[in-house]
Structure 1
Amino acid sequence: MYNFDEKSYRKEAELTYETRTDIEQIADMISKEGFSNIFFIASGGSLAIMNPVHYVLKQRTAIPVYLEVAAEVIHTGNKELTKDSLVITASKSGTTKETVAVTKWCIEQGIRVFALCGKMDSPLSQLATYSVIGKAKDAPEFEYMQLFMFTMRLLHNNCEFPDYNRFADQLATLPKDLIRFRDEFEPQAMKIAEVCHKEPYQMWIGGGSIWGEIYSFTMCVLEEMQWNRTKAVTSAEFFHGTLELVEKDTPVVLVKNDDNTRMLDERVENFLPKVCDKYFVIDLHNFRFSQIDDQFRAILMAPICSAIIGDCLSAHYEKCSGHSLDIRRYYRQMEY
């Protein structure tokens, strides 16, 4: 597989899963203390990762859940965000300016904050009420593992997810499947990157529990890392404006989910051949888990998307464009 260190990936997966005990202990402590609602608050790519977790939870729990942009909530507040709330945040560097600021703001108001931090002794880990270190260098799917263990444990404690232990046990097998999925997707990744990397504009469509991944790939990878002009839209909203921008030679990539929003993706899939000659369909239904029960499948669509698109496809864009994913013109290069 191109630009993929499988040995390191497997080691980071083991290190990630080793945090399960710490995560469960913190979740159990918070459940005993009690909380009125859950707020996911973050910035950029970390906010994008929060999106699928928020999406899954709002369908499975009576606990009110909210998703907020860190830079906004400090200025606008939220009447539901109180001392009885639980805030969940994350930052790979542990130094993201807006995320650190909102964590400080919450702590000053007596609001508990659980943080996933990429680095020990970072500003975020020191500020947060509870913090767990993400030991993987750059694999969002491992953050998903930690976030789903934490949040589904909270639901388990609230008598809303009785199968938590089986789910968490099976989650240990996820990285092995993600490696296989990456290998299976590689030929399609090469084809998409070869066609789309040089286009002046490209469109990405998806929705449901993977919308955060579509948003993250187009903004954090194509725009920030590759300087490609893109449009990302959900399948549910595509027919309310964006469809008018599709022409015969418009590169369009549709990612079909395998959850209860799939019929919305299929509606887009049926439309595209009528107006477009340059479209691709990535169907997540084709990527089947080996040891994770189907009843948990809908929870884990975003990690699949992260592995094959955020990781594999990103590498092939870099290969085709010759533009390093590490180069930035402005992001963290100056004060703004």
Structure 2
Amino acid sequence: MNANKIISKVIKEKGRIRTVFFIGCGGSMIDLYPANYMLNAEASDISSYIYTSREFVLSLPKRLGNDSLVIVCSHSGNTPESVEAAHAAKEAGAYVITITHNKDSKCTAPEFVSWVYPWGDDVKTEYVPVGISLLLAAELIEAQEGFAKHEALIKAIDQIDGVIGKARLKVNEELSNVFANSCKENPFFYVLGSGSAFSQTYGFVICSMMEMQWQNCCHIHSGEYFHGPFEVTENGLLYVIQMSSGKTREMDERALAFLRGHTDRLIVIDALEYGMDSIDSSVREYLDSSLFYAINCELRAARGKLFNHPVETRRYMDIEKY
């Protein structure tokens, strides 16, 4: 598949896209977050929204219509809520693109334009949902209003895999065991982040830790930390902060400064120290999430090894009826 060709078809059929809706559940929604964030930051004539699939169906946006592009992501291609959302969007007149790993799924039905992606540790960022959705968003901005950062973003997506490879090594040398042992000493902890990277702050908590490791923890947006949550900060309580590389880093730095003076248990994961300083500063914040996802995978693996808890272990998901 090719993002430029798909967007050309979208514009040829729809004329002009005014609204974009990114739809998914869990990790699939998380992967779409950076593209939604970038569209709202960079496009002057396109409004972008992100929904968890079921809420999208239950509270269908009035702005959804013939001038809408809906991008639905489902790894299995058969997530009931996401399949229903894709059909609801199509019925409302939107142009629907589905992103899935399963070529023989409900998301690859003929009524949708389907992008089937490979999956595995060595698959490049441009071929997985976070990269695909960023490329689609970039091509849409470029086609409709021009995107001065277009080439910089394409280059950054190509560069990020090299950054991730080095970051994985650095994490396993310096941080993985520290984090795993901290989980043993702290049955509960908080994770902070901001900007595009907040998608992986959220994802690290609900997917890597709660789902895959049964670890109790909570995510906090760095900008919201001082509007309530900081009141519980004290020695003996672990905090993990993911420092972004872009415009919102200022919020992370403010939270970090306070944390350093008010808790004796703190893990700092700085995107700039893990290689994002080598990416063009005008676009690197949109790829922070790709870096943090890779780091989070190494951290959850280390915890799983220490606790003898494989990341594939489930007790409810796809086992009980829900």
Same fold per TM (> 0.5)? yes
- 2:10 corresponding residue in structure 1: 30
Following the alignment from structure 1 to structure 2, what is the Cα–Cα distance between the partners of residues 206 and 96?
Answer: 28
- 2:33 corresponding residue in structure 1: 51
Structure 2: unaligned runs, 5 residues or longer: none
Following the alignment from structure 1 to structure 2, what is the Cα–Cα distance between the partners of residues 76 and 163?
Answer: 34
8 A Cα contact 1:177 1:290, kept in partner: no
Change (3 A) 1:40 1:140: farther
Following the alignment from structure 1 to structure 2, what is the Cα–Cα distance between the partners of residues 23 and 88?
Answer: 12
- 1:146 corresponding residue in structure 2: 132
The total of aligned residue pairs comes to: 315
Following the alignment from structure 1 to structure 2, what is the Cα–Cα distance between the partners of residues 213 and 164?
Answer: 24
8 A Cα contact 2:28 2:73, kept in partner: yes
Following the alignment from structure 1 to structure 2, what is the Cα–Cα distance between the partners of residues 238 and 168?
Answer: 33
8 A Cα contact 1:204 1:254, kept in partner: yes
Following the alignment from structure 2 to structure 1, what is the Cα–Cα distance between the partners of residues 27 and 110?
Answer: 20
TM-score, scaled relative to structure 1: 0.88
Following the alignment from structure 1 to structure 2, what is the Cα–Cα distance between the partners of residues 177 and 144?
Answer: 16
| Aligned with residue 249 of structure 1, among 220, 236, 245 | 236
Once the two structures are aligned, what percentage of the paired residues are identical? Answer: 27
| Aligned with residue 111 of structure 1, among 94, 102, 115 | 94
Following the alignment from structure 1 to structure 2, what is the Cα–Cα distance between the partners of residues 107 and 233?
Answer: 35
Following the alignment from structure 2 to structure 1, what is the Cα–Cα distance between the partners of residues 110 and 51?
Answer: 19
Deviations 1:166-192 (A, max 9, x none): 532553332222111111222212211
Structure 1: unaligned runs, 5 residues or longer: 1-18
Q: Which amino acid aligns with 1:231?
A: C
- 1:41 corresponding residue in structure 2: 23
Q: Which amino acid aligns with 1:263?
A: E
Does structure 1 residue 168 correspond to structure 2 residue 154?
Answer: yes
- 2:316 corresponding residue in structure 1: 330
Deviations 1:279-334 (A, max 9, x none): 1111111133597433322221111111112x211211111211111011111112
Change (3 A) 1:240 1:288: same
Following the alignment from structure 2 to structure 1, what is the Cα–Cα distance between the partners of residues 241 and 124?
Answer: 21
Structure 2 residue matching 1:252: 3-state secondary structure: strand
Change (3 A) 1:163 1:32: farther
8 A Cα contact 2:39 2:47, kept in partner: no
Q: What is the Cα-based RMSD across aligned positions, in Å?
A: 2.0
8 A Cα contact 1:87 1:111, kept in partner: yes
Following the alignment from structure 1 to structure 2, what is the Cα–Cα distance between the partners of residues 226 and 205?
Answer: 19
